[in-house]
C-alpha cells in the first residue's frame, strides 16, 4: 500500500481532514417498538434477535454498517421499562448508559396520538443527552399516511429533535432516509472496524441468542421472560461433507412447571425450538450443525445478581 492508499483506507484525505464519517449511534425506546428489527434493516442483515414479546433484547448489541459515506457503529439496547426484578434493572441500566456513549441517539417510537408514560420518562432523560437525538417513528405501515404528521407533532411538542424520520422496518420504508439522518450527525474520521465486520458478537453468543429467540417466539405468556440460554459446548469437527458444529446448550427457566412447558408433550416443544434454532444457526455459520438442547431450572434467577452476571448480563460489560 502506498501513502495515498493508506490515507484513503483510513478515511483521511491528504489535506488532513477525513473524507468519511465514523461514529456511534444507539437505539433507545420502550420494549417492542421495533428497535432491533430496525437495526437489522439498517445494516442489511439479521444480527439482533426480535420477537413480538416485550423485553426481547437483554444486552447491548454492537453492529457495524460501512458504506462509501463512512461507518456507523450501532448499539441496540434493551427496551426501557419499569423493572420488576434485578435482570430488568440491569437491562434498563444498560440502555440508559448507552445514551452517554454515542454520537447520536435514535429514539424509536410507535405512531400514537399521545405520549405514553414510558416515553415521557425517556424524553426527560434524552433532554439531558449531550448528543443529537433523531426521532424514528416506526411501524408507520400500521397507520394511514395522513396520520403520520399527527404522530410526529405529539413528539415535536415534547422536545427538540435533530431530525425526524417516519419509517417502517417491516416494509423497508424510509430506511435510507434514516441512514442519511444518522450520517449527518456523525463526525468525520477513520473507521473503527474492518468494513467486512458486521458485529462483535461471538458465534457462541449468536447461537445462544438464536435459541432464546426461538423459545420466545414459540412459548406463550410469562415463561419467555424467565428464560436464558447457556452454550455448554461448541466444537467444529471435520466430516465427509464438510464441517459440522456440535453445540450443546441449556435453556434455563425459573420454575419446574415452566420446565415441563418448555419440553412440551412428548418433547414436542423442545424439538421445535431445537429444529428452528439449528436451521438459523446453520445459516449463520454456513455449515451443518448438530444441536443438543437441555432444560434446567434455576429458581428466581432473575433476582440473583451472580447468576445474572454469569449469564453475561452486565451493563458494564460491552457485548
Ligand X SMILES: Nc1nc2c(ncn2[C@@H]2O[C@H](COP(=O)(O)OP(=O)(O)OP(=O)(O)O)[C@@H](O)[C@H]2O)c(=O)[nH]1
Give the nearest distance from C-beta 118 to ligand X in angstroms: 11
Indicate whether 37 belongs to the interface with ligand X (CB under 6 A).
yes
DSSP state of 187: P
52 sits near ligand X (criterion: CB under 6 A): yes
Binder among 20, 40, 51, 57 for Mg ion (CB under 5 A): 57
CA torsion sign for 318, 282, 50, 167 is: positive
- CB atoms inside a 10 Å sphere around CB 248: 15
State yes or no: residue 94 binds ligand X (CB under 6 A). Answer: no
| Contact status: 190 vs ligand X (CB under 6 A) | no
Q: Provide the residue count of the chain.
A: 319
Q: Which does 174 bind (CB under 5 to 8 A by kind): ligand X, Mg ion, none?
A: none
Q: Which is nearer to Mg ion, 51 or 71 (CB)?
A: 51
The closest alpha carbon to 207, from 246, 241, 242, belongs to 246
Among 36, 40, 59, 201, binds Mg ion (CB under 5 A): 36
Q: Which is nearer to Mg ion, 23 or 79 (CB)?
A: 79
Q: Give the bridge partners for 233, in sequence order.
A: 248
**Taking contact as CB under 5 A, which single stretch among the options 29-37, 131-139, 164-172, 250-258 is the one that binds Mg ion?**
29-37
The site partner of 55 among Mg ion, ligand X, none (C-beta below 5 to 8 Å per kind) is ligand X
Does 32 participate in binding ligand X (rule CB under 6 A)?
yes
Question: Which of 18, 22, 24, 56 touches ligand X by CB under 6 A?
Answer: 56
Residue 205 cell numbers, joined: 453468543
Task: For helices 117-126 and 86-99, give the axis angle rounded to 10 degrees.
Answer: 40
Q: How far is Cα 55 from Cα 228, in angstroms, rounded to an integer?
A: 12
* Smallest distance from ligand X to CB 167, Å: 7
Is 57 a binding residue for ligand X by CB under 6 A? The answer is yes
Asked if 11 and 190 count as a contact pair (C-beta separation under 8 A), the reply is yes
Q: What is the largest CA-CA distance in the chain?
A: 69
Near ligand X by CB under 6 A: residue from 61, 122, 134, 169: 169
Choose the binding region for ligand X from 12-20, 137-145, 242-250, 289-297 (rule: CB under 6 A). Answer: 137-145
Strand order in the sheet with 133-137: 61-67, 70-76, 21-28, 104-109, 133-137, 163-166
CB-nearer residue toward Mg ion: 57 or 277: 57
Is 139 a binding residue for ligand X by CB under 6 A? The answer is: yes
77 binds Mg ion (CB under 5 A): no
State the number of binding residues for ligand X (CB under 6 A). 24
Q: Is 206 strand, coil or helix?
A: helix
Least distance from C-beta 39 to Mg ion, angstroms?
8
3-state secondary structure of 236: strand
Provide, rounded to whole angstroms, the least separation between the CB of residue 151 and ligand X: 13
| Cα→Cα distances 274→26, 57, 75, 103, 277, Å | 32, 20, 28, 39, 5
Q: Which three three-digit cell numbers place residue 305? A: 445478581
Residues that bind Mg ion (CB under 5 A): 35-36, 56-57
Residues that bind ligand X (CB under 6 A): 29, 31-37, 50-52, 54-57, 78-79, 138-139, 141-142, 168-170
Amino acid at each position: 500500500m502506498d501513502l495515498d492508499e493508506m490515507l484513503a483506507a483510513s478515511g483521511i484525505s491528504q489535506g488532513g481532514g477525513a473524507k468519511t464519517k465514523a461514529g456511534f449511534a444507539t437505539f433507545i425506546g420502550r420494549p417492542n417498538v421495533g428497535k432491533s428489527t430496525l437495526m437489522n434493516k439498517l445494516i442489511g442483515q439479521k444480527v439482533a434477535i426480535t420477537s413480538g414479546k416485550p423485553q426481547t433484547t437483554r444486552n447491548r448489541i454492537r453492529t457495524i454498517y460501512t458504506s462509501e459515506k463512512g461507518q456507523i457503529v450501532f448499539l441496540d439496547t434493551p427496551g426501557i421499562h419499569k423493572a420488576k426484578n434485578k435482570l430488568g434493572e440491569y437491562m434498563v441500566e444498560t440502555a440508559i448508559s448507552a445514551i452517554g456513549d454515542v454520537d447520536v441517539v435514535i429514539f424509536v417510537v410507535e405512531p400514537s396520538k399521545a405520549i405514553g408514560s414510558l416515553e415521557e420518562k425517556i424524553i426527560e432523560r434524552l433532554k439531558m443527552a449531550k448528543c443529537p437525538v433523531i426521532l424514528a417513528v416506526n411501524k408507520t405501515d400500521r397507520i394511514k399516511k395522513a396520520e403520520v404528521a399527527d404522530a410526529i407533532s405529539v413528539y415535536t411538542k415534547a422536545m427538540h429533535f435533530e431530525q425526524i424520520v417516519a419509517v417502517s422496518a417491516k416494509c423497508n420504508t424510509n430506511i435510507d432516509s434514516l441512514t442519511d439522518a444518522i450520517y449527518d450527525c456523525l463526525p468525520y474520521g477513520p473507521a473503527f472496524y474492518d468494513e467486512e465486520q458486521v458485529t462483535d458478537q461471538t458465534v457462541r453468543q449468536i447461537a445462544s441468542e438464536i435459541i432464546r429467540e426461538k423459545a420466545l417466539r414459540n412459548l406463550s405468556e410469562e415463561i419467555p421472560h424467565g428464560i436464558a440460554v447457556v452454550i455448554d459446548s461448541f466444537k467444529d469437527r471435520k466430516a465427509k461433507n464438510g464441517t459440522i458444529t456440535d453445540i450443546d446448550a441449556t435453556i434455563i427457566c425459573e420454575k419446574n412447571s415452566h420446565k415441563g412447558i418448555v419440553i412440551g408433550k412428548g418433547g414436542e416443544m423442545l424439538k421445535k425450538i431445537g429444529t428452528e434454532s439449528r436451521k438459523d444457526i446453520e445459516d449463520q455459520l454456513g455449515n451443518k450443525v448438530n444441536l443438543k438442547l437441555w432444560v434446567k431450572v434455576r429458581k428466581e434467577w432473575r433476582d440473583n445478581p451472580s447468576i445474572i452476571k454469569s449469564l453475561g448480563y452486565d451493563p458494564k460489560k460491552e457485548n
